[in-house]
Structure 1
Amino acid sequence: MSSAVYEHGGNGRHENVTFLTNEQKVAPARRASIAVGVFVALMVVAAVVGFLVWLFVVRSKELENESTFHKHSSSTLVYSGQMKLLKLEYSPVYDDPNSKEFQQVARDLEGIMNNTFTRDPLLSKYYTKSVITAFSEGTLAYHWSQFDIPEKDREIVPELSEERVVRALLRGIRQEGRQAGSIAVNVSDITASSTDPRMAREPRSKKCFYSLMAESTNKEFTSPGHPRLYPANSRCQWQIRAPKGYAIIVKFKSFHIEDDCANDYVAIYNSLSPDSTYAITKQCGLRPPTNPLEVVSSGNIMLVNLITDVVQKTGFRAVYAAIPTIAAGSCGGSLTAPTGNFTSPHFPSFYPPLLDCTWNINVPAGRRIKIEFSMFRVKEPGVDTYRCHKDYVEVLGKKFCGERRRLVLSSTTNSLEVKFHSDESYTDKGFRIIYTAFDPVNPCPGQFACTSGYCIKKEQQCDGWNDCEDMSDEKSCKCDEEQFSCSNGLCRPQYFVCDRVNDCGDNSDEEHCDCGKAEERCGDGACIPQEFICDGKNDCADGSDEVSCVAAAGICNDFSFICKNKQCVNKVNAECDREEDCSDGSDEQGCDCGVRPYKHNRIVGGQNADVGEWPWQVSLHFQTSGHVCGASIISNKWLLSAAHCFIQPDSAYKITSNWLTYSGLRDQNIQDGSVQKRTLKNIITHPNYDSMTNDYDISLLELSDPLNFTNTVHPICLPAPTHVFSAGSACFVTGWGTLREGGSVAQILQKAEVKVINDTVCNMVTEGQVTSRMMCSGYLTGGVDACQGDSGGPLVCRSDVGEWIREITNI
């Protein structure tokens, strides 16, 4: 959405025009770590295929093209907003659209707006009608106006802007208001913003409209039919009011709306009009219980809209209550303790609009103050994070906004002021600050002090990784003889040189790596003569010299994707790329996998996983030993794991009755209703498994009873035998393995980021132990990796189109 605001008189709060776009972005992830993990791989996948049963769900083009905002706006434009009526005394009778008082004032205002637009030389050509929808204390009148643009005049749409509408309203309403017969109208503030026409409703329309009064005790409202599916093409609205002097808090206990916010969404406003000038947030998707949506108004009104198309989900259940306005906006204060913390109001709920808070921190003389944001989300659509001209946190004279994974700031004296400002539109989760007084002579006792004030372990200095995030830990480092000195001062292992991955960050490790003039590089970095390219023979070990060759189209080789009708496709990663390469469409079948129903922030390696973040992860329990190995869901009846979990000197590991599987599990100590426990019917280990080399370390597990796919239980995608995992690409290992060598298994499911390592480099490190059925992943210089107890669990990599594809972890 976009908005324009024009105000005159009064407080002068809106003297500029502001454009907003309703987009949200996600924050970056952290690097993970050490060691080489060897993972079992692609060629055995063909043996698995016969056991897989996949349901392919395709959404037709008709549904994909249903009612986005842009399709509505191409023929119909709606502008909604509010106006302040200075000479009309507010009365509760105006809350009822059926009262004669409401209808009289609404009729007069609509007449004035109608005259205004019909006299405008441009707007009059397309103007349809104006509607007054509500009144509130202030006295504020809420309105919308509709303009219909014929196909032949589509190019005129940019001229029908919010500014043009606001100027016309301001001029026309004042002129008409002086002559109004039944009321003396004097308007001070007028807003109008472009609005999804699906949110425009008549004030007396009863279809899916609810007027709610908030009180101090919680009340509930739900989407239609919840917990069943909401109706298709719903246009629902909840007007919530509270007594004077109170604000409104709404907490969504469950929330499942279609993923695409252009089609289905919940939009919440600090107003009784869907005016983006006063938008609090617009949300869609499936929210996990660990990340609920909670919003607070600045005053005693709030508007909640539900807009849907033909795709149906379960919707939401929400509770609402009235809270004192002072409590809603209370923030700031004086802090004198040597350590402490504070947050934005209502954290981790969304902070209210229209806030100005100041915290003053004072510590003993001779000390300095370090503040670290453990959470920072002050995002607003369309805001330049370098200017931060809307919502912001201000420290040491600099404004911060957007989303940051880490933010550490230090004072130069023993006092520090932290300011927080939110304007009237769009709020977010806010922030949490931990502050500490420190000795400026020794700011990080026993650790390395980053320039920002952040403290890291001494061994992380000059380890080749930007742990400080400002590179201060990697400056002035001396590389040893086994390291490559990057142009930017980083030290990287010599193995990384010319591996076709930009490990230095400035690409200096990949310079001067070209093959000879008459040579070409293979995908694994080897050089071959140019005449070998597309000669019908696999001269590169990875077959990259014959991939995507025109002459090779339809010709089968070891690196071809084979369709169900035996047609061969010579294209890298042809399966599930949302393009039909097979004439029978089989390359795009069975692709309803590798999807996480819950929405999550981007992954940060080496930490607790969230609920439903890895829905294909399974915990295998052996007898009374608890968690022993991991597995992955590949269908509702089959799991994939490692052979070595079951081939042990003790034959008891091959007995199915000794095992239990737990799907949808996050915490080993909490097995609630979302966890699905199953027994094993069959254990099939690969007959060629070699315990000395770990070759063919794969097993199939058949469940006694099928799984029910839910938000926390979902299958992972298996790659085609020819799938290429590019060196340097980020993948993730998950499991309940030990957090350190010799330690106990983790209670909470862990996740860690690793990267795919070039086969040539991996064979050098492992002295040739990697077979064609394996791939290497990890970090050669140390850090987080899979540990004992992660065996059999997934190594997952995300495809170009977003699905997660798995390998098997071997420890």
Structure 2
Amino acid sequence: MDYMNSGMRYTPKTDRDWDPAVQFLPASDNKKLEKKKGPGKIGAVIGIVIFAAVIALMTGLLVWHFHFRKNVRVKKLYSGSMRITNQVFEDAYENPNSTEFKALAKQVATQLRAIYTKSPQLAKYYVGSTVQAFSEGSVMAYCLSEFDVPASQEAAVDKVMATLDKLVDKEQRSIKKNSNALVFEDVVSSALDTRLISTSFDDFLRFSQHTRSNHIASIKSPGFPNKPYPANTFMQWQLRADQGYVIKLDFDNFNLEENCKNDFVKIYDSLVAIESRVMDEMCGYVSPSQPMTFLSSSNVMLVTLATNEKKNFPGFQAHVSQIQRGSKELACGGQLRGVSGTFTSPNYPNYYQPRIVCEWNIEVPTGKVVKITFSKFLLAEPGQEKGTDCRKDYVEIEGKKVCGEKEAGEVTEVSKTNKMSVVFLSDRSYVDRGFSASYEAIDSKDPCPAQFKCATQRCVKSQLRCDGWNDCGDMSDELNCKCKSNHIQCKNGLCKPDFWKCDGVDDCGDKTDEQDCGGCKSGEVMCRNSKCVSEKKRCDGRDDCGDGSDELDCSRGDVRCTDLTYRCKNNKCISKVNPECDGTLDCEDGSDEANCDCGRNLFKTSRIVGGQEAEQGEFPWQVSLHIKGFGHVCGASIISPQWLVTAAHCVQDDAKTRYSQPGTWEAFFGLHTQRQNGKTVVKKNLKQVISHPNYNAYTYDNDIALMELDSPLTFTDYIRPICLPAAQHVFAVGNSVWITGWGATREGGSAASVLQKAQVRIINRKVCDKLMGGQITSRMMCAGVLTGGVDACQGDSGGPLSYPSGSHMFLAGVVSWGDGCARRNKPGIYTTITKFRGWIQEKTKV
């Protein structure tokens, strides 16, 4: 029996369409159908027909419920393992074709049948068992058992199989001492992932690998890297190490379909797909700069790959090696002494092992107390993502359990003495990246000298108190505040920055910041031109606003073209707002979904990236513009293979340098770290520089420029264009956008070496204009920092303001002027791309 290609063994019978006892009465004599006094014969006929129909319906339902539904059967497969304590492992057990393997497998299957047949809930549904593999310790058997279960009994069988260990214990106690029966211990069983028994699989591929000391083997999906992995295929790799070692699996390339419902890899701490032993499920694209490494708890591991019929990708490649138990690489826990220090979970920042317990005993000088702070805390797995119920993997600090995924500094604990105990436990299933922690000796009477002490014991700078940001993580630094003159005083006592007023987001939590915003009355809607009209006039076919905005997003076929409606390539207009590249064909000619291979990165963002550093390949449209012989000066965005968008103020000549000349510049693509030009980086020269003719060097109005490359780019995983919005595209106030760059701003300052990223929020134009002293024109947009410290966002002149919309990113703006995002409470000013869409198209044909 092969669980991967065994089909349904039961085909339900079908009842006949009609019950022969039910007959339809003829009505050929029209006179019999004439109305008569009282019910008469016709009334009786109708009554009989209705009664017969009701009886037939009820009979059919009862027959279906008690016969057909009862006989619908489900194939259930349960994978499991057990330790055979009265056998010694032989090398021949690794070979499923060996005589020794077959003999022991037959004995295991026979004994399992005896166990199942003695269970009233299982005996009548049991089909058979097969042994998939053996491994050391004494001998571990990995089995698969099949049951043919009525649908109504499926839950009951699941419940019994979940406690298979109890059935085995009961059977073991009945075995006579002089019997040659196998002795089972550590019995585990769980239902097989139904996706692994899909009847749509066309092929099943099996591989095995036994690694040795001082040897690194490799596994890869079929065809990698030259062609995609096969469709409709289930693949598995059984990995083994020597006894006394654990397996190290290191992925250096991983590129699967983004949706795990289609193609996915699952890794098991076992030799068979036991769901209670799954370590992780993965799909998508993982950057080679952030490799994934897994460690087994014993000397076996299973890697599976399941694919469907479409969208196949290159796949993966991984290296397999073994590590001896007790080695430094697997170090876990220990004694920590001194005034400060650090420690991490095993294998950090990669995945820790399943089934481990580590304990660190920390001791600082007498008279001090221990303060521990976690800079990274990633212990999330199915069932405890929110960290409220720590029944699986957790860290225990002085009796307090912590789990889930936490922000940097959110987990901070202080001891009552100069000693502290920290315990880390992982269970048998699902592993994560783990944690990084530091400890220090502090004065219990003054734990935060010259700083503010949060209720969480975390210390933050005093100037961060009452500034509108939740620096403590529990809002304790924002409570009982007297707000500054440039802050909003919320009715609930909180303080919020002025530029969050009237942005459509309830920042206060009591809507104080969204009051007195010149909104419309109840029952009215606000037009784009700020006029208020009745809700009843919305989508009535008339332009009540005067700018046509009350007729947008209306489901009508014939739409009058205005400045606000989206114009398809065939010159027909649609009322839908932002229809470009949203996955739905709205234009008859499909032009709203054309040219949508943009604004996407192929990498699955890793949570382990620290601070505000972007991940390599996360923003593949980001360009670094260098002055030849000098270095990075400005940023830019890729909009096509030959054209870039940047800021006009970056290309204005001064007394020393002719920035307007293409020969002055060189552009770097796919760059992540300055001065590190790896194989992903491409350097190009420029053919021409086009600054906007109406650029004003004093007001920074019309601050946009175009650059043409001397030769077209070849797009890669690290070099891709961002989507250009239509002129009618709406970038809503309050929505989050991304700013990226290497830190150079108009005002100067030192640049970051690694590409930085930060989330900012689009700010209400009127509020921003007030903040900036009336300097905001209709061609500018404002965005501010949502979270972080003074250096949370390091912008870069000319770089992109990336607006996420569905699975794409659109170029909303170009970094122009102001304080960028380098300081708190200072909005950055950006050139609005939609205002220049026609000019860009005229010059570039993009």
5+ long unaligned stretches in structure 2: 1-72, 818-846
Shift in alpha-carbon separation, 1:481–1:627, aligned structure 2, 3 A:
closer
Higher relative contact order (CA 8 A, sep 6+): 1
Matches of 1:183 and 1:605, distance apart in 2: 58
Alpha-carbon offset, residue 631 of structure 1: 0.8
Secondary structure, aligned partner of 2:474: coil
1:615 is aligned to 2:620: yes
What is the SS of the residue equivalent to 1:654?
coil
Whole-angstrom CA distance in 1 between matches of 2:709 and 2:346: 49
1:560 equivalent in alignment to 2:557 = no
Counterpart position of 2:465: 461
Number of the residue aligned with 2:491:
487
Answer yes or no: is 1:573 the counterpart of 2:570. no
Seen in structure 2, the aligned counterparts of structure 1 residues 581 and 273 have a Cα distance that, compared at 3 Å, is same
Aligned pairs (5 A) from 1:160-175: 160-161=157-158, 163-164=160-161, 167=164, 170=167, 174=171
Q: How big is each residue's C-alpha offset from its partner over 1:288-326, in whole Å with a ceiling of 9 and x where there is no partner?
A: 233211111122222222223343323223222222222
Measured against aligned partners, the alpha-carbon deviations of 1:354-374 in whole angstroms (never above 9, x if no partner) come to 211111111122212111112
Q: 1:184 to 1:536 in 2, by over 3 A?
A: closer
Question: Which residues of 2 match residues 375-774 of structure 1 at below 5 A?
Answer: 375-383=376-384, 385-406=387-408, 407-494=411-498, 496-510=500-514, 515-516=520-521, 519-522=524-527, 527-528=532-533, 533-534=538-539, 544-549=549-554, 554-601=559-606, 607-649=612-654, 652-738=658-744, 742-774=748-780
Distance in 2 between the 1:695 and 1:136 partners?
72
Q: Please state whether the residue corresponding to 2:698 is helix, strand or coil.
A: coil
Structure-2 change in CA distance of 1:240 and 1:200 (3 Å):
farther
Which secondary structure does the structure 1 equivalent of 2:766 belong to?
A: helix
1:345 aligns with 2:349: no
Provide the secondary structure at the position in 1 that maps to 2:658.
helix
Tell me the CA shift for residue 427 of structure 1: 1.4
2:93 matched residue in structure 1: 94
1:32-47 aligned within 5 A:
none
- Cα distance, 1:88–1:605 mapped onto 2, change above 3 Å: closer
How many Å separate the matches in 2 of 1:603 and 1:318? 20
How many angstroms apart in 1 are the aligned matches of 2:79 and 2:286? 29
Q: CA-to-partner distance for each residue in 1:654-713, whole Å, 9 max, x for gaps?
A: 322222111100111101110011112232333333333333322222222222222211
Aligned residue in 2 for 1:5: none
What SS does the aligned partner of 1:94 have?
helix
Q: Output the CA distance in 2 between the equivalents of 1:168 and 1:452.
A: 43
Which of 188, 213, 220 does residue 215 from structure 1 map onto? 213
Deviation at 1:798, TM superposition (A): 1.0
Indicate if the aligned counterparts of 2:94 and 2:135 stay in contact, CA closer than 8 A.
yes
Q: Deviations over 1:15-53 (max 9, x none)?
A: xxxxxxxxxxxxxxxxxxxxxxxxxxxxxxxxxxxxxxx
Alpha-carbon separation, structure 1, partners of 2:501 and 2:364? 50
| Higher alpha-carbon deviation: 613-622 or 212-221 | 212-221
Determine the C-alpha separation between the residues in 2 that align with 1:409 and 1:170.
45
CA distance in 2, matches of 1:425, 1:551: 53
- Residue type of the alignment partner of 1:559: L
Q: CA deviation at 1:283?
A: 1.9
Stretch moving more, 673-682 or 503-512: 503-512
Classify 1:605/1:575 alpha carbon distance in 2 versus 1 (closer, same or farther; 3 Å). farther
CA distance 1:554–1:243, change in 2 (3 Å): same
Cα distance in 1 between the residues matched to 2:321 and 2:275: 24
Shift of 1:526: 6.1
Q: Name the CA distance, whole Å, in 2 between partners of 1:538 and 1:783.
A: 47
Counterpart amino acid of residue 490 in structure 1: L
Deviation at 1:263, TM superposition (A): 2.4
Residues 625-648 of structure 1: CA deviation (Å, up to 9, x unaligned): 321211111122222222232233
2:360 equivalent to 1:359: yes
Describe the shift of the 1:169–1:705 C-alpha distance in structure 2 as closer, same or farther (beyond 3 A).
farther
CA shift for structure 1 position 112: 4.5
The answer on whether the counterparts of 1:616 and 1:633 sit within 8 Å (CA) in structure 2 is yes
Change in CA separation of 1:198 and 1:386 when aligned onto 2, cut-off 3 Å: closer
8 Å CA contact 2:394, 2:425 repeated in 1? yes
Give the alignment partner of residue 191 of structure 1, picking from 175, 188, 193.
188
Letter matched to residue 355 of structure 1: I
Match of 2:236 in 1: 237
8 A Cα contact 2:245 2:299, kept in partner: yes
SS of residue paired to 1:237? strand
2:551 is aligned with what amino acid? E
**Aligned counterpart, 1:314:** 314
Distance in structure 1 (CA, Å) of the matches to 2:615 and 2:110: 55
Query: Structure 2-normalised TM-score?
Result: 0.79
SS of 1:473 mapped into structure 2:
helix
Give the letter for the 1:307 counterpart.
A
Return 590-599 or 308-317, whichever deviates more.
Answer: 308-317
More deviation, 291-300/114-123 = 114-123
2:225 alignment partner in structure 1: 227
In the TM superposition, 1:4-19 aligns within 5 A as none
Aligned-residue offset at 1:394:
0.5
Supply the distance in 2 between the matched residues of 1:200 and 1:518 (Cα, whole angstroms). 55
Q: Which has the larger radius of gyration?
A: 2
Q: Which amino acid aligns with 1:598?
A: F
Counterparts in 2 of 1:376 and 1:553: CA distance versus 1, 3 Å = farther
Q: TM-score, normalised by structure 1?
A: 0.82
Percent identity over the alignment is: 43
2:211 and 2:217 in contact (8 A); partners too: no
Residues paired across the two proteins, number: 731
1:782-797 counterparts in 2 under 5 A? 783-784=790-791, 790-797=796-803
Distance 1:379 1:75, change over 3 A: same
Distance in structure 1 (CA, Å) of the matches to 2:91 and 2:151: 43
Letter in 2 for 1:326: G
Change (3 A) 1:685 1:454: same
Moved more, 470-479 or 120-129: 120-129
Distance 1:409 1:539, change over 3 A: farther
AA in 2 matched with 1:808: V
Q: Look up the match of 2:65.
A: none
Distance 1:785 1:190, change over 3 A: closer
CA pair 90-136 structure 1, distance change in 2 beyond 3 A: same
Query: Is contact 1:253-1:318 (8 Å) kept?
Result: yes
**Post-superposition CA distance 1:49-95 (Å, at most 9, x none):** xxxxxxxxxxxxxxxxxxxxxxxxx9754321112223333322222
* Residue identity matched to 2:392: K
SS of equivalent residue, structure 1 residue 607 = coil
Contact 2:349 2:608 in 1 (8 A): no
User: 1:652 deviation in Å?
Assistant: 2.6
Hey, what's the Cα distance between the residues in 2 that align with 1:750 and 1:586?
35
How far the C-alpha of 1:248 sits from its partner, in A, is 1.8
Aligned 8 A contact 1:213 1:241 in 2: yes
* Contact map agreement 1:374 1:433 (CA 8 A) in 2: yes
CA distance in 1, matches of 2:666, 2:129: 65
Equivalent position SS for 1:106: helix
Superposed, 1:187-336 pairs within 5 Å as: 187-196=184-193, 199=196, 207-233=205-231, 234-310=233-309, 311-327=311-327, 329-336=330-337
Matches within 5 A, 1:48-87: 77-87=76-86
Contact map agreement 1:116 1:168 (CA 8 A) in 2: no
CA distance in structure 2 between the aligned counterparts of 1:604 and 1:351, rounded to whole angstroms:
17
Instruction: Quote the Cα distance in structure 2 between the aligned partners of 1:333 and 1:620.
Output: 49
